[in-house]
Structure 1
């Protein structure tokens, strides 16, 4: 993981310097942005391997930055927040963030989270393409395509939704518990188990809109499976 570039988006210089010092000590390269617009520009120009993104920053807040990044990029993002309402938003939707950290934090914990997220996401990038019926998942490009009526139709997913789909399609008839899905797809975070239901519901709806029915079925007393055995 040495030499991975970390974009630190933080408007408090003292906090940014501390994060930079700990990351540099562990062999990472760093670049800083003190506002959301600069963060967008740095991301487009420098292509960082991961983003540490404070929720409350000037010009464009962290949620706005995350939404913009997710329109075109699957770069891992760890959100940093100090406010309860931000935590509620992240817990309920996750908005495509890979993880989040609550202030005040231990800088060593931040470095550990960065390592964990990079280890997980880089492993996913090394996977190949998997197809199940009319659904095709490219683990390297973080894209999903549905083959319908001779056309390849992209399926628009948040990063959290993609992770759940990618995890479950590897073992399509296996029943997964909610906690197991959360641990496998959103580890090292404080997300609530019930958020899995929201992600699954959204995935099922998006697939059904493209004529793909019968996926993400509930398994009583356990959780969900991607597809029932035929």
Structure 2
């Protein structure tokens, strides 16, 4: 049974989310402020976080950033603002997806299910390797020169998608469809933001992700 942490200071909204999650068979932890959210996260095994931005004591941006220092679990941001800078900031801090209020609880549940299905590792034992980057699809671990690197859920999905299609140009639209699906609310800048974060974490291997102007990206073997 997957455990989901719901962080929302509006009681009615929080209860609606919790009711939907419980009916879908999930275990739920709840918090109405950022400090309690972090305490619950640190003292429990959590598989996914649904995180409001405007919170008492500690805002959602800070909570997201703190969680990302130690975990790669999926984080879905809830925001009342449609400001592009807000959504991009969320992705820069490591959020995997976001929903703008008011939103459909069914859409939120679809996103939760999609993330957790991927997180479960349906390709147990499959290994992908290139240019000293090794991906274990079952454990969802990534190594460079034998050293483990910490990727978010979305960064892992993008890297594995590109490496499985090595040498093939993958458009931004294809990445959006593969990673977020039909109900994605962002735009192509979201992909750029995740690619930028991913390259930074790959260090000198980040050059293996090549930008193809006006098209998208492809993974190429490191040139010796």
| TM-score, normalization by structure 1 | 0.82
Task: Note the C-alpha offset of 1:15.
Answer: 1.1
Cα deviation digits, residues 73-96 of structure 1 (max 9, x gap): 1221111110234x5332466132
Find the counterpart in structure 1 of residue 167 from structure 2: 173
Structure 1: runs of 5+ lacking an equivalent = none
Task: Note the C-alpha offset of 1:103.
Answer: 0.8
Find the counterpart in structure 1 of residue 65 from structure 2: 67
Give, in whole Å, the separation in 1 of the partners of 2:198 and 2:46.
28
User: What RMSD in Å do the two structures reach over aligned CA positions?
Assistant: 2.7
Task: Note the C-alpha offset of 1:180.
Answer: 0.6
Pick from 33, 36, 55 the counterpart of residue 35 of structure 1.
33
CA contact (8 A) 1:178 1:196 kept: yes
Matched, 1:224 2:217: yes
Cα deviation digits, residues 68-126 of structure 1 (max 9, x gap): 111111221111110234x5332466132222111112222222221122122223684
**Helix, strand or coil for the counterpart of 1:22?**
helix
Give, in whole Å, the separation in 2 of the partners of 1:108 and 1:125.
27
Cα deviation digits, residues 32-80 of structure 1 (max 9, x gap): 1111111111112221221111111111111111111111112211111
Matched positions, count: 221
* Distance change >3 Å, CA 229–CA 173, structure 1 → 2: farther
* Distance change >3 Å, CA 195–CA 42, structure 1 → 2: same
1:139-218 map, 5 Å: 139-147=137-145, 152-155=146-149, 157-187=151-181, 188-204=183-199, 206-207=201-202, 209-210=203-204, 212=205, 214-218=207-211
| TM-score, normalization by structure 2 | 0.84
Give, in whole Å, the separation in 2 of the partners of 1:115 and 1:122.
11
**Helix, strand or coil for the counterpart of 2:188?**
coil
